[in-house]
Amino acid sequence: MSIELRHASFRYPDNYLANDDLNLVVEQGESVAIVGQNGAGKTTAVKMLNGLYRPTKGDVLVDGVNTREKTAAVIGRTVGYVFQNPDDQIFNQNVRAEIEYMPRRLKMPEPEMKRRVDRAVELTGLKKYMGKNPFDIPYPIRKFVTIADVLAMEPKYIIFDEPTAGQDKHGTELLENLLKVLKAEGVGVVTITHDMEFVARNFDRVVVMAKKRIIADDTAKAVFSNDEVMEQAKLKKPQICQVAEMAGLGKGILTIEELVELL
Amino acid sequence: MALIEIRDVTYKYPFTKKPALHDVNCSIEKGKFYGVIGENGGGKTSLCNLMRGLIPHFYNGELTGIVNIDGTEVRDWNTGELAAKIGYVFQNPFTQISGIKPTVFEEIGMGLENLGMEKEAMIHRILEVSKELDIEDLLQKDPNAMSGGQRQRVAFASILAMDQDIMVIDEPTSQLDPQTTEKVFDIIGQLKNSGKTIILVEHKIDLIARYCDEVILMQGGTIVRQGATADILTDTSIEELGAVVPQTALFGHAMVRAGKSLERIPITVEDAVEQIRKWKEVQA
Ligand SMILES: Nc1ncnc2c1ncn2[C@@H]1O[C@H](COP(=O)(O)OP(=O)(O)OP(=O)(O)O)[C@@H](O)[C@H]1O
Ligand SMILES: Nc1ncnc2c1ncn2[C@@H]1O[C@H](COP(=O)(O)OP(=O)(O)OP(=O)(O)O)[C@@H](O)[C@H]1O
Ligand SMILES: [Mg+2]
Ligand SMILES: [Mg+2]
């Protein structure tokens, strides 16, 4: 079981080519980070993975089924997508109604819906916001509302588009915990982020995009040791990694413990 | 006298019970670069709204205390003049884009038009900031057909173009790749060097550590710490106040615990490297 881009390219209606021949396989239960420069095509690529966009060339497969053969709504139940801009996703006037919307639409039995919504709310720390209008709550918390939306659907694969943007310490910890829980449950996760410290702490496998293409797909250690890839994708190494390298202590050092140990 | 002086301010947004800001006191000195940090909902954006005069001119609600901007009480400022004096980059790049202009070029020009700038000067200025932020290729694009980070760059460029004396900038890099983030900080640093006063809200603590003169830490609607950047960020007790300590400072503390104390706790990569060099010398 996996989601896969196979020689997939995507051109926007204004004729701009945003993805050029992408190849990527994410197995169920795997957790992958996608990083890379602004405009590299990350959001476009994951929108193909969840069926919002169809490749203009090549194929996208979800558990072996070509996304051309299914509607976006159906694919979305297997591959959940949390939008980069939460306002593109939310449309209910109340947080509870927002999270319950899809389960209700699918006519899920009440107890099952309750179980799922309770779990989603627990994992996202939204309890005290349940009665609020999503547009009245701060942006980072609104992002958690959209995460809860997707969690309540319990898809086999989940894609998070920039969940770390604007999050404080508490929000980042919530996300880290969520990633652990999903991993333990065998959910496949793809996370787009610009936060390299977050990547170093939470991901073994890192996919790097630059200029419409995937330029690396490797371990975090290998990616952060590859200067050319870092430069092309406009990335920066995590701070500890930079310190270790500049002090001549070696490449790919990611944690404080490793660094202290070396001295 | 300070450029912006806030005394005993408490503020409630309309139709809310709990104040978003309470007992806030601070002075902003001309020409300094302030980093505002703290947890979500801590009041950072509300403090920006206050310094930019949107509280009370745009947001009604209940305001008590004194806000003095460049010698004049905020309530006595003309809103147009305030807008010309203080630039404001909003937190959410998706809402800053007006959505009514067909191209990025016109989007950036909109603020300049409002300032009454001449056409020629305007074009010159738009090209100048576009070059600086590496968005020249996007100028003819529809602002709604851009990636998240591209939008944020355009939003920032629109304000940068206006060149106001005081800049209030609320999380300008949340959607930016690491090198572009650094670039934006560099530009803001240059603005400060050219004499502007900067109030910047940001979660990226490593960059706050590197660029800001002073840090303002907010929690629960009030300022819980304010002072020189190194003093605030080397103190791990700020973690209990919802703040993040830079990795380099945590490394410094870990060295102390391992019995390998550096001369001082570093807050930047450069300083950490320097401290390691000195420590090795002493060991040798
Ligand atoms: N609706 C659209 N119409 C035309 N071009 C678009 C559209 N959306 C995005 N693009 C362009 O496609 C390219 C890739 O955009 P995408 O949103 O996938 O980038 P990204 O890697 O997610 O960037 P970011 O880190 O800034 O979010 C960009 O150059 C962008 O300008
Ligand atoms: N327009 C508004 N109307 C009502 N309440 C508001 C409004 N804006 C903010 N608040 C409330 O004021 C408090 C402080 O919010 P503020 O946005 O200033 O925090 P912040 O530190 O900027 O948070 P974040 O890191 O999420 O941006 C919060 O409780 C928030 O819900
Ligand atoms: Mg994107
Ligand atoms: Mg804010």
For the stretch B194-220, pLDDT in tens is 999 999 999 999 999 999 999 999 999
* Residue from the list B178, B246, B269 with its beta carbon closest to the beta carbon of A246: B269
C-alpha of residue A17 to centroid of ligand 2, in Å: 39
pLDDT of residue B115: 84
Mean pLDDT by 10 residues, chain A (263 residues): 96 94 95 96 96 96 94 92 89 90 89 94 93 86 94 96 92 95 95 94 95 96 93 93 94 92 93
Contacts of residue B171 in chain A, CB cutoff 8 Å? 166
Distance from CA of B176 to the nearest CA of A (A): 6
Helices vs. strands in chain A: H and E counts, helices first:
11, 10
Q: Do A260 and B254 touch (CB under 8 A)?
A: yes
Q: Judge contact between B171 and B208, C-beta under 8 A.
A: no
Contacts of residue A43 in chain B, CB cutoff 8 Å? 147-148
Closest by Cα among B26, B42, B3, B1 to B226: B26
Q: What is the mean pLDDT of chain B?
A: 93
Q: Do B178 and A238 touch (CB under 8 A)?
A: no
In B65-99, which positions are buried (b, 16+ CB within 10 angstroms) versus exposed (e)?
Answer: bebbbbeeebeebeeeebbeebbbbbbbbbebbee
For the four alpha carbons of B165, B169, B175 and B179, in that order, the dihedral sign comes to: positive
Q: Do B269 and A14 touch (CB under 8 A)?
A: no
**Is the pLDDT assigned to residue B93 strictly greater than 70?**
no
Substitution candidate for ligand 2 out of B46, B49, B173 with most atoms within 8 A of CB: B46
Q: How confident is the model at residue B134 (pLDDT cuts 50, 70, 90)?
A: confident
Q: Judge contact between B28 and B49, C-beta under 8 A.
A: no
pLDDT of residue B1: 75
Q: How confident is the model at residue B145 (pLDDT cuts 50, 70, 90)?
A: confident
Q: Which residue of B has its CA nearest to A35?
A: B177
Question: Strands, DSSP E only, in B155-213?
Answer: 166-170, 197-201
pLDDT of residue B144: 86
Ligand nearest to the CA of A211: 1
Q: Mutate which of A161, A243, A254 to test chain B, going by most B C-beta atoms within 10 A?
A: A243
pLDDT of residue B167: 95
Q: Whose CA is nearest to atom 16 of ligand 1?
A: A41
Contacts of residue A228 in chain B, CB cutoff 8 Å? none
Region B116-132 average pLDDT: 92
pLDDT of residue A77: 92
Q: Which CATH number do you get for residue A186?
A: 3.40.50.300
Q: For chain B, which residues make up each domain, given as ranges?
A: 4-229, 246-284
Q: Which residue of A has its CA nearest to B141?
A: A14
Total number of domains constituting chain A: 1
Distance from CA of A68 to the nearest CA of B (A): 24
C-alpha of residue B39 to centroid of ligand 4, in Å: 9
pLDDT of residue A78: 95
In angstroms, the CA B48 to CA A26 distance is: 42
ipTM above 0.85, yes or no: yes
Residue A197 covered by a domain: yes
Contacts of residue B201 in chain A, CB cutoff 8 Å? none
Q: Do A194 and B145 touch (CB under 8 A)?
A: no
Residue A105 domain boundaries: 2-236
pLDDT of residue B97: 75
pLDDT of residue A140: 87
**Is the pLDDT assigned to residue B49 strictly greater than 90?**
yes
In CATH, the number for domain B4-229 is 3.40.50.300
Q: What is the pLDDT of residues B217-261, one digit of tens each?
A: 999 999 999 999 999 999 999 999 999 999 999 999 999 999 999
Tell me the percentage of chain B whose pLDDT exceeds 70. 99
* Closest ligand 2 atom to Cα of B39: 25
**Is the pLDDT assigned to residue B111 strictly greater than 90?**
no
pLDDT of residue B246: 96
**Is the pLDDT assigned to residue B82 strictly greater than 80?**
yes
Q: Whose CA is nearest to atom 8 of ligand 2?
A: B46
Element containing residue B28 per DSSP (H, E): strand B21-28
Element containing residue B252 per DSSP (H, E): helix B247-257
Residue B101, CA distances (Å) to B98, B106, B135, B217, B274 in order: 7, 6, 17, 37, 49
Q: Mutate which of B218, B260, B276, B279 to test chain A, going by most A C-beta atoms within 10 A?
A: B276
Contacts of residue A37 in chain B, CB cutoff 8 Å? 177, 179-180
Which residue is listed with tokens 């006595």? Answer: B76
Considering only CA atoms, give the Rg of chain B: 20
pLDDT of residue A93: 86
C-alpha of residue A174 to centroid of ligand 1, in Å: 28
Residue B186 Cα to chain centre, angstroms: 13
**Is the pLDDT assigned to residue B263 strictly greater than 80?**
yes
Say what angle helices B119-132 and B104-114 make with each other, to 10 degrees. Answer: 130
**Is the pLDDT assigned to residue B96 strictly greater than 90?**
no
Residue A143 covered by a domain: yes
- Show the tokens assigned to A203: 């991901």
Region B116-140 average pLDDT: 91
